[in-house]
Amino acid sequence: MPATRIDPQSAEVVAEHLGPTAARFTHSDNALTVLDPKARESMAVVTGFGPTNAPTAGTLSVMLGTVELQRRLAVKMTVVISDLGAWNSRNVAWSTLVQVRDQMFAFLVALGLDPDTARLRSHLDHDNLTRAGRIARYLSRADFQKHRESLLELYADHGLLGSETGVVVDSLYTVADVLGPFDNGATNVLMVSGMEEAYFTDLARLVLQRQADAGELSLGWRSRIGALYFRVLEGLAGYPKMSKSIQASSIHLNMTPREINERVMSDDEASQPAVLSAIELSSGWDAADITHASQAFTERAARPNAWREARQEFCLSFAKFAETWRRCTP
């Protein structure tokens, strides 16, 4: 079942389960089946982050949403920082990946993620590496060519990608992440990620289907996967996504207050929608303040000062998150 945009009727049902957090998601893929209260007792949530650089506003928005989701659902959760996956699929030094990984662990806890009820781990995990090895037999090269990240060509153009084999290995590790709860007794998994990572859900479902039909070569899983996809925060300067791998597209938590101000307060028209999205998703503001900023954005031609004031307030809010990030340095 492919991911589909959440229509108004479905949005009401998702909101019944997730409350205000539902507004962070734009697409659903069989999510309501696993969110059903009858399935909740055997459900686990899986999500993760790549440690290639400090979180952008887009990554921060997903982290904030993950904390909200944990509090709302109160089910088992696994949060993966994909160190080995990033090592294979991106051209980033291992020492950088390790530092950012450990900083992300501490930062998620600082944001409010409860480590007692959510398992935080990396790809340096024996069980996941074993699982990746066991599921590889069910996938072909053609599967990875068909189900792949939509931004691969953009990353390749910027010299950011590892080898073709490395990209496949990264995907294999992450599919194993999605399937992990089934090894621990879960029968329903809710995968939450950005829409550009929907292909992981597709590959995980292929594994489920093929192992179920494999006779004596089956892993014995009879399970379901649902997915919710976070709203993708578009990039500055007209980039399709605010990516930590493409510096010009983003603001990130390693920036100084001055650097944040320079990006956010730029009057480049191509960047203005992304700034509003950053305010809506990663400011930590309440609904009234976000509505006020949205109105200022809409009326920015007639009332430029109101939009400038909203952006200045966001700079202060984002700088506070950046200071928390710095305090989490290992």
Sheet of 188-194, strand order: 4-5, 25-29, 224-230, 188-194, 43-49, 76-81, 118-122
If you search the block for the tokens 């009326």, which residue do you land on?
Answer: 299
Looking at domain 4-230, which of 3.20.20.140, 3.40.50.620, 3.30.499.10, 1.10.3720.10 is its CATH number? 3.40.50.620
Going by C-alpha positions, the residue among 233, 245, 194 that lies closest to residue 318 is 233
Sequential pLDDT tens for the chain (330 residues): 567 888 887 889 899 999 999 999 999 999 999 998 888 889 999 999 999 999 999 999 999 999 999 999 999 999 999 999 999 988 899 999 999 999 999 999 999 999 999 999 999 999 999 999 999 999 999 998 887 665 454 444 445 555 778 888 999 999 999 999 999 899 999 999 988 889 999 999 999 999 999 999 999 998 899 999 999 899 998 888 887 667 788 899 999 999 999 999 999 999 999 999 999 999 999 999 999 999 999 999 999 999 999 999 999 999 999 999 999 999
- Report how far residue 302's alpha carbon sits from residue 286's, in angstroms, rounded to the nearest whole number: 25
Tokens of residue 78, six digits: 């696994």
